[in-house]
Amino acid sequence: MFVVAQISDLHFNGTADHRKRVAAVMDYLNGRCGGPRNIDALLVTGDIADEGLPEEYREAADALGTDIPTLMTLGNHDDRTAFNSVAHDAECSEPVNSALKLDGLLVLALDSSIPGRSDGYLARGTLDWARTQIVEVDAGTPVLVGFHHPALTVGIPFIDDRCQLDPALLAEFVAEHPNIVGTVAGHAHTPAVTTFAGRPHAIAPGVASTLNLPFEGTDVVNTVQRPGVAFHLIDEGRLTTHFRGVPS
């Protein structure tokens, strides 16, 4: 069995409150390491920064230190050029896609951000890149695919106006690969589970904040919820997701 931890929507902005919430989550994750049931991977699904500034990515690099193999992609609050300048010391505005190949599992982090916009889209070029990663592993290797924007509406109007524009290419991509055990996203700042293209589609809770469902209040942000993490368990080609709120 593999365990993939997912965190999303960290929104580093230089404030003590956001840094405290991220630190609590990272302390929780790092405390699960070192035993017989290690976390195999950490997937960070975007909105790492709040305004996409280089200093926010430097803060993130300092706060996200861990021995857990980590891969990440970007969200609508992020800036590709600023992220790459800090993370890779390179000037690049291409989509930030990454892959982690373990012995028996492939995790993909795909960039659904559209520069200058709040909604998202997984472009053909990104999905073609993902196809090459899947081809390079054994046909029976389970694949977990992560990105920032949910592939469909989740019942929060503020987010549903800003999800993926047209997930048809993504649905086609998932249908091509029966070893994709599920897709996971962030952006909604709420733990949620649904289905997309006939596979599980899980949305991670936000680290920086939680958003209200329409019947929970008139405010967009729910101020009483803890920062959260999703744990994705992949066993015999099946995905099970658990959510945890972490005291901060």
- Specify whether the CB–CB gap between 197 and 171 falls below 8 A: yes
Q: Strand runs (DSSP E) across 117-174, as ranges? A: 143-146
Q: Which pLDDT band, with edges at 50, 70 and 90, does 235 fall under? A: very high
Provide the pLDDT for residue 32: 79
- CA separation for the pair 83, 92 (Å, rounded): 9
C-alpha to C-alpha distance for 204 and 187, rounded to whole angstroms: 8
Ordered alpha helix ranges (H), 161-222: 168-176
Categorise residue 139: left if φ over 0, alpha if ψ from -120 to 50, beta otherwise. Answer: alpha
Q: Looking at the 3D structure of the chain, how many domains does it have?
A: 1
Write out pLDDT tens, residues 90-128: 888 999 999 999 999 999 999 999 999 999 999 999 999
Tell me, what's the pLDDT at 195? 98
Write the pLDDT tens digit of every residue in 196-212.
Answer: 999 999 999 999 999 99
The SS3 assignment for 67 reads coil
**Burial class, 108, CB count within 10 angstroms (exposed 0-12 / middle 13-18 / buried 19+):** buried
- State percent of the chain over pLDDT 70: 98
146-195 residue pLDDT tens: 999 999 999 999 999 999 999 999 999 999 999 999 999 999 999 999 99
Distances, alpha carbon 1 to alpha carbons 125, 143, 209, 231, 244, in Å: 31, 13, 30, 12, 19
Name the one residue in this structure whose structure tokens are 């952006």: 187
Pairing of strands 192-196, 228-235: unpaired
pLDDT in tens, 29-58: 998 765 546 899 999 999 999 999 999 999
Q: Which domain does 90 fall in, by range?
A: 2-245
Q: What is the CATH number of the domain that holds 204?
A: 3.60.21.10
pLDDT higher at 222 or 73: 73
